[in-house]
Structure 1
């Protein structure tokens, strides 16, 4: 065992006066507290000396590197290698996800592009008409107007002049031909504006992705496991009229608007207002796509939507930055 030394007697021998034990304990506690606080806060004399020596050494190394051309060249090479590697990784990520704005050239997208671009619309286009008209409805209306305006024949055939009736019939045919040509020019998309083409594309989206059409051609989504205690819901009433509010139709309509804005921004780089509108549309479509994917569980309806619109995973996955 180490020898026991009386603190009171040793302090009395040094100072020449009696010292209380409580005063010694307070002094030792104060010294230990200051030492602990100084080491915890980093302001102890030892830590200050170490930090000062480290800073001095680092400043010397930096100064030596600034004046050493070999070390500077090595630093530039490492920086260039890191930058090039970051570019390669960014390109790989973008190629794996795809473009969040542009769609792949599927038949549906090519048809939408042909309608939106005036130069790509053929002059003999009769199926796609303006003002919500269809070719069969227009033909029926023209035939009815032709019969309605046809010249009446003289009921008294004895006094009728065949030459006059023939001339009137030829004049009626010529007038009907002129009227038909005028109507065809009015309803032709070549004479319409961008708003008319977008309206026609929206109509095609409703006809292609509406539940009133896809319910008959697409199988239902995979059914979930239903517990015995789950409530039994009644069957839904049959759909009446075209579907214009489902998430698939809204995503397709947003895709048409995104295509129109992106084509406009190719030649208008400083149009900040429409660029912000494009960002809003892209993010809104991403939310709708995430909702459809969650509800359909990646089923046939989700695959048909993504495949027909030509969208990649970048349209709904991860952070979208334009």
Structure 2
């Protein structure tokens, strides 16, 4: 632009030199010549604008050609198909790994099928301490747990007492009474006692009991199986802390217990688990309208989470913690992270 302007100025100066009067030197013009600024002719101005427009149009055309040429670069369709295939395989693998992690993490509400859980759900089954499975009582065997919080020994004692009280009294003088009648009365008494015993067993059967009675039975089972008055004889002590002598844990004498353990974290977790299982089964059919039990279930799950976190920290993940998790079939989802129920 500057070169074109200088060239136009030189052309104008050469024209003025030709029109200058003879005898005047270059640069010695009149008063008006000193006051007026140099003018650019219309032809020079048009040529300057034309050059400027052409230069801009040329630069835009070159840029457009360059951009279009870059956008039209072709890619190999085989490479595109390979990239899409790799992306689809990666997404599928990520989805599979996410599902595996979710299944391994577990469910904060549900428990795995263990002997203790099966016994909580089915009253006719009951596990024993240290057993690998559940014990199914036969028809002739009296169950260990019956309804209305009656023990096996109490039931047997009551049946034997009733049998003795209802036994027919033998006559004082045997010559007056027919011996056949006495024998028939004894046989009838035996049959009546068997019928009464069967009726009492059916009345006291847990499968015919209410939910409240089953909850009481589950509480009693939790105390008998997970109470420390029984597990202390089977499980080893917890691992020693950093800088602590393991021999000091074994040699330390504990205060003798005054009775069954009813308040340890293991027993409380087992009781909460039984209540959680009952509520979860009930909410499968009435979850859309039972807001009260929904809230109770959420509170029980969060309360159990606190107890599990406390027990794991207190026992340092020792045998007592592992026995509790294996007995109740709980996973890491029951105590780790944030639990949200919907």
1:130-167 CA-to-partner distances (Å, cap 9, x unmatched) read 11223343223212221222112123333343123123
* Structure index of larger Rg: 2
**How far apart, CA to CA, are the structure 1 residues paired with 2:337 and 2:255?**
37
Q: Which residue does the alignment assign to 2:19? A: none
How far 1:89 moved relative to its partner? 7.4
How far 1:235 moved relative to its partner? 4.1
**How far apart, CA to CA, are the structure 1 residues paired with 2:234 and 2:244?**
26
Where do residues 50-69 of structure 1 align in structure 2 (5 Å cutoff)?
none
- Find 1:94's aligned residue among 96, 102, 106: 102
How far 1:212 moved relative to its partner? 0.8
Q: Which residue does the alignment assign to 1:162? A: 179
Change in 2 beyond 3 A, CA 1:251/1:116: farther
How far 1:122 moved relative to its partner? 8.9
Q: Which residue does the alignment assign to 1:188? A: 205
Q: Which residue does the alignment assign to 1:274? A: 293
Change in 2 beyond 3 A, CA 1:85/1:283: farther
CA contact (8 A) 1:123 1:190 kept: no
The alignment status of 1:260 with 2:278, answered yes or no, reads yes
**How far apart, CA to CA, are the structure 2 residues paired with 1:102 and 1:115?**
18
**How far apart, CA to CA, are the structure 2 residues paired with 1:91 and 1:321?**
18
How far 1:168 moved relative to its partner? 2.2
CA contact (8 A) 2:124 2:207 kept: no
TM-score, length-scaled by structure 2: 0.62
Q: Which residue does the alignment assign to 2:117? A: 109
**How far apart, CA to CA, are the structure 1 residues paired with 2:124 and 2:311?**
27
Secondary structure at the residue paired with 1:267? helix
Secondary structure at the residue paired with 1:145? helix
The alignment status of 1:321 with 2:340, answered yes or no, reads yes
The alignment status of 1:205 with 2:222, answered yes or no, reads yes
The alignment status of 1:152 with 2:160, answered yes or no, reads no
Q: Which runs of 5+ in 1 are unaligned?
A: 1-76, 228-233
**How far apart, CA to CA, are the structure 1 residues paired with 2:267 and 2:200?**
31
1:12-56 CA-to-partner distances (Å, cap 9, x unmatched) read xxxxxxxxxxxxxxxxxxxxxxxxxxxxxxxxxxxxxxxxxxxxx
Q: Which residue does the alignment assign to 1:48? A: none
Change in 2 beyond 3 A, CA 1:220/1:137: same
Q: Which residue does the alignment assign to 1:62? A: none
**How far apart, CA to CA, are the structure 1 residues paired with 2:338 and 2:256?**
39
Q: Which residue does the alignment assign to 2:249? A: none
Change in 2 beyond 3 A, CA 1:296/1:157: same
CA contact (8 A) 2:124 2:137 kept: no
CA contact (8 A) 2:270 2:328 kept: yes
Secondary structure at the residue paired with 2:212? helix
**How far apart, CA to CA, are the structure 2 residues paired with 1:277 and 1:304?**
27
Q: Which runs of 5+ in 2 are unaligned?
A: 1-83, 126-135, 246-251
How far 1:96 moved relative to its partner? 3.6
The alignment status of 1:248 with 2:266, answered yes or no, reads yes
1:223-259 CA-to-partner distances (Å, cap 9, x unmatched) read 33449xxxxxx84421122111000000010000000
